[in-house]
Structure 1
């Protein structure tokens, strides 16, 4: 894993170095709309190869071992950086400008193999953590590249340099850093293990590629599952906003804030990278048990707010803080959405899907940068473009909330509970995907439903007293949560409905005690759940909740050592080994008491 992380770091660090050198040269020579246009074009040149070669890059990632694809791509990068260095020494600005495209072409071929390698290397269980690590590494590399190459650029630059050719010749030694970084990366790719489980016999027909047949086929690969397509569209909108913000901020800082030193301009934008690192760590923490899509709602909302607020701020210090926050909330989108795409993709088509994802995202970003160039040509300044991107952010919020509203709700609940409780879970491996699961256990607080749901990816269908279910302001929410109302008059119908849902592979939870316990004892279990038909493909999983008695959400609130604002009550939830679907109430009660003695908080 460590060699892979270094490869990811050096790839991003070196690719960004050349871009920074070109962008800083533009910043020194040009002003106003011309500066915006040229910066947007540089960014577009980086994106266009991802559009151009997404079919062959996906094919290569699926046809050959991903480690081999990375090896040959890195070798291509060594050759390109040598040519770029030669262009610097010759003062060939247009040639160096154009080489941005070829360096990006290398990245485009590299990308599906690089990201597809995550799932093969760490497996599905650690896919969120793997994506968080790669996202953090990439961001640190981008941050390091921006700071390093900008500082070196400014140290070699002098006010006597009047043309872009003179600037390039002055900073030419930086080219050897590009060559060195790419060479080390190439060396490290040979240390990556081959994770390809079976050889592929696929062939690539160039004629089919030129006719767009592969394009149609690969686009179909991401449209088969609407969940994958939605994640890709959401990422595309975010990256489009980011690209435009980065393209116009230099002009905005120079015109509105009077900043002419590239270290300050690039440094502030680099703070977004620090934010992404911090945000990735937070996202990984909140995705401990499953991919936490609820974070995306927080990310989309605050990203939009920040973009709208930037034009109102004229302090570089405050803007620096805002860019850091922008990065944190960006990670809340990037980590779960990228993990979701990889999780839902089969290993056989993972490379194609990731390449298609790159294609769609880059089409969006390229289009936005073209529009930015168009608007700049007709005199629209950076401030107005920030407002335009804010409007796009509003649409991003709408798409995220319309798709992940339930997940956003659960994420909000989880954050609130984590402020007061340290939640510990055991036995989650006893709840398998795609099978019906009947959860049966003790009832100790008003938030037991949340405690059970938080670590489980699938939605739990609870059985609830009909008197509570019928409360007018609660009923729409409970219906959305697919709660099953239970009453003494129609209890048989309720358990029949529970049986139907279990046969459809759902998770149903019942609290056999029938009410919240008034003390720490396990009270008598009611026999109602025995009416549930055991003809479903699944099993019964007992659970035990400990640590909530005496809390604010329990019926009996007792003073304890957790009264401090920063102290948290430890709550443990244990999911036991599966039991017979024909288990009786008294047998279940005995099992829960055993779990209490075995796992209870001492």
Structure 2
């Protein structure tokens, strides 16, 4: 994206996707007061709500009020769901191209105009109780959502900084599920009104569409990212092209698969709530609605928690945490379902809530959905941040295609298992176990998730880690991060502080340390040996370091050449000068970021002299207590031309307070 260009208030201008640091102030809820986010949020909120008012009211109409011989009640929900999702399969590729080629505010207003037209037709269909027309409107609303999807997720990184992406995505995820919940409730209540129900639904749907269109007028200018793109109108070839485009970035593509798996996982639970409430929990329709409420609130809370848990970065270390919670509580839901009291009547909501055993079910459901929210939000933010801006919307379109395929697969597989005699609690158990297997497979394919999880755990539960100056860590472009070397976990803590992966140049001996050595191998750290000891390995390490910078990534180095033996800052060796000279020879624009880890000396993972012997690490685990405070001070970037080992050491010493 282009260089920052902001107004005096720190809000991005039309020409940029960046914001100034002043826009970072406040929580994610503060975004609602800003034009770059507020109108967009409410547009997507009312759109999602309208979808569900319409769909649920129509489902209730054909299930309880109309007798349609060719659409039996048992099939109504399935047919409506399939019609709504079908456009995602055939039009997502085209919508992704449109979102890259045209300004997003123009597309948002077009989509909202389309929604008004569809709701006018749907209103007539409700009042005439014309089922074929309403089925056609279901398809058209699916098309409306298909067109909006790539715009929605490509819009956010164009207006939010890296530090705001997690919070922004959390707000959108929360808003979507709250809108779905309110839409279902409103649709069910309105259509149930005697005589006037269809008319009230028609008016409500049209009103929501008009409100959405009015709000769309306030969405700020969002320039096209690839205006020269030639549209390929063939959905088959373009779908394949989009999937290949996404596959070109391994981390992004496997994140797409991870999100699609979350939709597979969630679809199993959502589709079984009515049957689970009736056949397992022995509850009535109110109990089924309660399950939907609990699930939606759980997703929303999990999504909102991501910003706090990630310290306002795109923290993909939360993804394994989410996956663990999803499996643990879906498996426990199976056991909770086997300890329920018997009942010969359909329990009302009050009767259901009076039984203590039912609370365990609700807690399991709330927590598995909460962890699903924690799982999904960082993945969306990662895809937005790592995708090329020129084809970001097409990547999102590929995600929508995969989501649709996975949800269809979920329905087919769940139906087959239930048809084979598997009970609903057993189905939840199988999905929970499958989630553990799938998550482990994804994390082995993309070790960055697991590494960030370890770094997240270390920086919050082993140490109390405080980072100052983290805005100086660049979110794009090549940079060398130069830090003092105090302990065996320095690299892990730097991972936790950085919004991007870091390739570390590290002493080859540290790779022999149990557990940590395997962790650094997963992180693709570059082992370096002294030139006198192994000249070939020495040169290979610097060649690998040069390649990291040529690829525009972050290179982490510890210029002291080894872990301090007495807690003081050692002289910096000349390797940093060699790396920077090679970068200049390659024509690579590199910034140097001085860093200083503080208060880490004397902790379990640092060397310390005990009983007058040789300084030793990793003995007496609690010698500094639990959650000991450590910090990282990040200095301002330094021009390559101004860097020498001595001057860089002075800057790091200054950050240490020397």
TM-score range, shorter chain: 0.7 to 0.9
TM-score, reference length from structure 2: 0.76
State which of 44, 47, 55 in structure 1 corresponds to 2:93: 55
2:633 paired with 1:573: yes
> 1:316/1:39 Cα in 2 relative to 1: closer, same or farther (>3 Å)?
farther
Residue 160 of structure 1 is matched in structure 2 by none
2:27 paired with 1:4: no
Residue 282 of structure 2 is matched in structure 1 by 258
Residue 194 of structure 1 is matched in structure 2 by 221
State which of 545, 548, 557 in structure 1 corresponds to 2:597: 545
Residue 536 of structure 1 is matched in structure 2 by 582
1:271–1:324 CA contact under 8 A, matched in 2:
yes
Residue 162 of structure 1 is matched in structure 2 by none
- Partner of 2:548, secondary structure, is coil
State which of 276, 280, 288 in structure 1 corresponds to 2:303: 280
TM-score, reference length from structure 1: 0.82
2:522 paired with 1:480: yes
> 1:336/1:363 Cα in 2 relative to 1: closer, same or farther (>3 Å)?
same
Q: CA deviation at 1:267?
A: 2.8
1:47–1:365 CA contact under 8 A, matched in 2:
no
State which of 475, 500, 503 in structure 2 corresponds to 1:460: 503
2:100–2:391 CA contact under 8 A, matched in 1:
yes
Structure 1, residues 123-148: CA drift from partner, whole Å, max 9, x if none? 55643333223222222322333444
Gaps of 5+ in 1: 158-166
2:225–2:390 CA contact under 8 A, matched in 1:
no
Residue 137 of structure 1 is matched in structure 2 by 175
Structure 1, residues 221-267: CA drift from partner, whole Å, max 9, x if none? 323333332222222222122112211121111111121133x3223
Residue 464 of structure 2 is matched in structure 1 by 421
Q: CA deviation at 1:185?
A: 0.3
Distance 2:644 2:491 in 1: 23
Distance 2:224 2:138 in 1: 35
Distance 1:227 1:592 in 2: 33
2:119 paired with 1:119: no
Distance 1:88 1:432 in 2: 51
State which of 110, 123, 132 in structure 2 corresponds to 1:72: 110
State which of 214, 217, 220 in structure 1 corresponds to 2:238: 214
1:48–1:366 CA contact under 8 A, matched in 2:
no
> 1:139/1:490 Cα in 2 relative to 1: closer, same or farther (>3 Å)?
same
> 1:496/1:458 Cα in 2 relative to 1: closer, same or farther (>3 Å)?
same
Q: CA deviation at 1:171?
A: 6.0
Distance 1:150 1:564 in 2: 56
1:147–1:267 CA contact under 8 A, matched in 2:
no
- Partner of 2:93, secondary structure, is helix
Query: Which protein has greater RCO, CA pairs closer than 8 Å, 6+ apart?
Result: 1
Q: CA deviation at 1:423?
A: 1.5
Residue 652 of structure 2 is matched in structure 1 by 592
State which of 69, 73, 82 in structure 1 corresponds to 2:120: 82
2:569–2:653 CA contact under 8 A, matched in 1:
no
State which of 254, 258, 263 in structure 2 corresponds to 1:239: 263
Distance 2:547 2:260 in 1: 34
Q: CA deviation at 1:112?
A: 1.7
Superposition RMSD on alpha carbons, in Å?
Answer: 3.7
State which of 546, 549, 558 in structure 2 corresponds to 1:503: 546
> 1:553/1:135 Cα in 2 relative to 1: closer, same or farther (>3 Å)?
same
State which of 384, 409, 413 in structure 2 corresponds to 1:342: 384
1:422–1:570 CA contact under 8 A, matched in 2:
yes
State which of 298, 311, 319 in structure 1 corresponds to 2:334: 311
- Partner of 1:250, secondary structure, is helix
Count of aligned residue pairs for this structure pair: 572
> 1:369/1:564 Cα in 2 relative to 1: closer, same or farther (>3 Å)?
same
Distance 1:50 1:27 in 2: 25
State which of 16, 22, 40 in structure 1 corresponds to 2:52: 16
State which of 310, 314, 332 in structure 1 corresponds to 2:374: 332
> 1:554/1:576 Cα in 2 relative to 1: closer, same or farther (>3 Å)?
farther
Out of 60-69 and 365-374, give the one that drifted further.
Answer: 365-374
> 1:564/1:87 Cα in 2 relative to 1: closer, same or farther (>3 Å)?
farther
Q: CA deviation at 1:446?
A: 4.4
1:512–1:528 CA contact under 8 A, matched in 2:
no
- Partner of 1:293, secondary structure, is coil
> 1:430/1:133 Cα in 2 relative to 1: closer, same or farther (>3 Å)?
same
- Partner of 1:535, secondary structure, is helix
Q: CA deviation at 1:6?
A: 0.8
Distance 2:92 2:359 in 1: 40
Gaps of 5+ in 2: 1-36, 67-71, 338-356, 550-554, 584-589, 611-622
Q: CA deviation at 1:362?
A: 0.7
- Partner of 1:354, secondary structure, is helix
Distance 2:155 2:278 in 1: 41
1:300–1:396 CA contact under 8 A, matched in 2:
no
2:307–2:313 CA contact under 8 A, matched in 1:
no
State which of 393, 408, 419 in structure 1 corresponds to 2:435: 393
Structure 1, residues 169-199: CA drift from partner, whole Å, max 9, x if none? 6565233222211110011111212211578
2:251 paired with 1:227: yes
> 1:434/1:496 Cα in 2 relative to 1: closer, same or farther (>3 Å)?
farther
Q: CA deviation at 1:504?
A: 1.1
> 1:571/1:36 Cα in 2 relative to 1: closer, same or farther (>3 Å)?
farther
Distance 1:530 1:296 in 2: 34
Distance 1:290 1:360 in 2: 26
2:119–2:205 CA contact under 8 A, matched in 1:
yes
Distance 1:194 1:298 in 2: 37
Distance 1:227 1:552 in 2: 33
2:46 paired with 1:46: no
2:559 paired with 1:516: no
Structure 1, residues 351-380: CA drift from partner, whole Å, max 9, x if none? 333222212221221233244456666776
Distance 2:421 2:131 in 1: 26
1:441–1:510 CA contact under 8 A, matched in 2:
yes
